[in-house]
Amino acid sequence: MGWKLRLGKPKLRLQSTITLLVCIVVVMALIVTEILITNRISKETEKSQAEKATDIARIVARSPIVIEGLSNKKTENNIQSYANDIKRSTHVEFIVVMDMYGYRKSHPNSNLIGLHFIGGDEGPVLKGKEHISTARGTLGLSLRSFVPVYDHENHQIGAVAVGISLEKVNQAIAQSRKIILIGVGVGILVGILGALFLARKIKAILFGLEPSEIAKLLEERSAMLQSTKEGILAVDQDGKTTLLNNEGIRLLHKAGIQGTFLGRKVDEYMPNTKLSTVLKTGEPQLDQEQEINHITILTNRVPVIVKGKIVGAISTFREKTEIKELAEQLTGVKLYAEALRTQSHEFMNKLHVVSGLIHMKDYQRVSSYITKIVDHQQSEVEFVVSRFKDPVLAGFILGKLSNARENGCELLIDGEGNVPEPQQQETTHEVVTILGNLIDNALDAVADRPLKKVTLRFDYYDEVLALEVHDTGLGIDEDIINSLCVKGYSTKGENRGIGLYLVQRSLEKLKGQLEIHSQKGKGTTFIVTFPYKFKK
């Protein structure tokens, strides 16, 4: 699978982009808000001023002074003084009282009293209708409220016009808008500062990475997760699955576990995963064996800790069969190499003897010594090759014979019949693992004994192979015999205890058995039996 990523060079960095976008949004929102609020305030201000003018006009229209003045011309002079008093106390532009013909009975300019009302908008009020209008009169453009005046018999006898200068109205609106603009300015400033803070905060959360860099890391992470040969499973702090790569899905399917995994709690489909324990304790679990239905996996579980807090856990796992095959192959190769090294070392010593005899010109002894070596070697080789038909196994045993002689030990091979070549080559690796570890342990057991003797006996019958390794060592205490095959258990010190564990695992693969018999001071015997189908 190939992974490609095409990214254009960004014009703006993430921090600049976030700052710019937030500032634009804040400014646009505040401008629209200012327009809407200003329009509303303008209307409300005009409405408020109009209501004020109407209220004043109604008060004046219902005043006995005005009613009497319009009803009785003898007292109409009182209308002017009354109207001016009301005008001064209410701060309006003008209060004009007119008769039914539109002639003024009061006006801020006394010279205009008796003249016809100017503006042309007094018509409806003289017909008994209250109304509000905007018109230009002798005092300029004003907002006017007209209210009819009725006598005691409910006959209209005139009208009252109260005017408020539109300039004052606009000044009130401008004052309100000024306050709004100050608020908008403060809002924009706060928005810009907030945008800068937000941009820096997001940048810090993203570890200073740009979106293109994050995308690249995500692609690389996906490629690595899907190309690895190990299953990778990640869960959050609640134990819910957040990640499972293709190899992990394959292994779960192989174990018979189906369905959707992401978002599910791991304990629902893998009850013995122990990831919940890692989440609680925060302690990693390394190189742990775990059974998933019918397969065994080797898994590592580690917590994910961020700022001292456990936020999840990750498990990597692989089928143990694959790892075991690799380990056992490496063990076999190691044993082969050791056998060849021993044999090479043995013959090097013999060559030194031959070289010394030749240097002494004792050719008779050279000939006799070589003949003896050849006869012994030939007889030994012929015996082993005739008994073990598998060349790899025969070569391995010859190497062990040489190794025993080099260490001053006697390795005897006994048995009846022949051991044929196995049907499957993997069986040879298992047999080499078993014999190699048992013979090595036996040679170690007799290393410090007066009688350094190890006996290898083999019997093959009815497609069952029995191998017996006996040593003349000190023997093994009965109370520790059952612990010998436990991984890491050893009486020889630290970093040991692997040999018999590998023997036990190989026998499990071959479906064989191991018996251990030991007597204190008389030695130990290891007997292994397992099915052994031969190659036809």
pLDDT, tens digit, 9 for 90 and up, residues 282-337? 888 887 877 777 777 778 888 888 878 888 888 888 876 665 555 545 555 555 55
Assigned CATH topology for domain 362-531: Heat Shock Protein 90 (3.30.565)
Per-residue confidence band for 1, with pLDDT thresholds at 50, 70 and 90: very low
Could you tell me where in the chain the CATH 3.30.565.10 domains are found? 362-531
What pLDDT was estimated at residue 495?
41
What pLDDT was estimated at residue 149?
92
What pLDDT was estimated at residue 245?
85
Assigned CATH topology for domain 9-227: Beta-Lactamase (3.30.450)
Could you tell me where in the chain the CATH 3.30.450.20 domains are found? 9-227, 231-319
Range among 147-161, 263-277, 505-519 with highest mean pLDDT value = 147-161
| C-alpha torsion angle, residues 25, 28, 31, 34 (rounded to 10) | -60
Query: 451, 496, 493: which is closest to 474 by C-alpha?
Result: 451
Query: 47, 16, 32: which is closest to 164 by C-alpha?
Result: 47
End-to-end CA distance of the chain: 43
> What is the SS3 assignment for 7?
coil
Query: 354, 372, 504: which is closest to 438 by C-alpha?
Result: 504
pLDDT, tens digit, 9 for 90 and up, residues 483-517? 676 664 555 544 445 667 788 888 888 888 888 88
Per-residue confidence band for 6, with pLDDT thresholds at 50, 70 and 90: very low
pLDDT, tens digit, 9 for 90 and up, residues 95-126? 999 988 888 888 888 888 888 888 888 889 89
What pLDDT was estimated at residue 7?
43
Angle at 176 between CA 170 and CA 179, to 5 degrees: 140
The H-assigned helical ranges of 473-513 are 478-481, 499-510
Is residue 164 pLDDT above 60, yes or no? yes
Question: Cβ distance 41 to 218 under 8 Å?
Answer: no
pLDDT, tens digit, 9 for 90 and up, residues 367-417? 666 666 654 555 567 777 778 888 888 878 887 887 788 788 888 888 777
Assigned CATH topology for domain 231-319: Beta-Lactamase (3.30.450)
The H-assigned helical ranges of 3-115 are 14-61, 64-71, 77-90
Q: What residue type is 507 in one-letter code?
A: L
pTM for the full model?
A: 0.39
- Backbone phi, then psi, for 471, in 5-degree steps? -125, 165
pLDDT, tens digit, 9 for 90 and up, residues 410-454? 888 887 778 888 888 778 888 888 888 888 888 888 888 888 889
In whole angstroms, give the CA distance from residue 428 to residue 419: 11
> What is the SS3 assignment for 300?
strand
| Mean predicted lDDT score pLDDT of the chain | 78
User: Which has the higher per-residue pLDDT, 341 or 163?
Assistant: 163
What pLDDT was estimated at residue 341?
61
pLDDT, tens digit, 9 for 90 and up, residues 224-249? 666 677 888 888 888 888 888 888 88
